[in-house]
A = this chain, B = another copy of it.
Amino acid sequence: MAHVFDFRIYYEDTDHSGLVYHANYLKYFERAREHVLGADELVRLYREDGLGFVVYKAELSFREGARFGDVLQVRTRVQLESEYRAIFHQAVWRPDGVKAMVEGQIQLVCVNRENRLVRLPAGVSGVADG
């Protein structure tokens, strides 16, 4: 089952082509990940434990461009690759769409205050599939 994050396309999201600027889909995926992981938990990890998530790799496929006024969803599934790396399978959908508009695979790792790689916190396994 995918986690669903609803969002809306505002003026700020579009460019002069009339469609959403391509880099913004990485923002929507990241907003959705914050909801999957829990913003409060992310704030706590950052302030108390000095831990932060870092994008290590990202792959994006663009099929259909979104427009001003669209109300859309990011659907997210989380896969643990190892104790250190999680892959977020994320896609932008129209709520009633038959195909994703944009698909992404976002690999995340976790680093401490010294920017050293550390094991993924327990919260990530909690949201991962299988």
The interface of chain A, by Cβ under 8 A from chain B, is 8, 10-12, 14-19, 21-24, 26-27, 30-31, 34, 39-40, 42-43, 46, 52, 54-62, 65, 67-69
Min distance, Cβ A9 to any Cβ of chain B, angstroms: 9
A81 to B30, CA, bound (A): 31
A58 touches B59 (CB 8 A): yes
- Chain B CB count within 10 A is highest, among A18, A56, A65, A68, for A68
Known: A10-B34, A34-B11. A62 touches B68 (CB 8 A): no
Pairs across A and B, CB under 8 Å, 5 listed: A11-B17, A14-B15, A16-B17, A40-B69, A58-B58
Main secondary structure of the interface of A (DSSP, over half): mixed
Find chain B residues with CB under 8 A from A30 CB: 10-12, 22-23
Find chain B residues with CB under 8 A from A54 CB: 17, 22, 62, 65
A60 touches B58 (CB 8 A): yes
In the A-B complex, list the 4 residue pairs whose CB atoms are closest, starting with the nearest: A14-B16, A23-B26, A43-B69, A22-B55
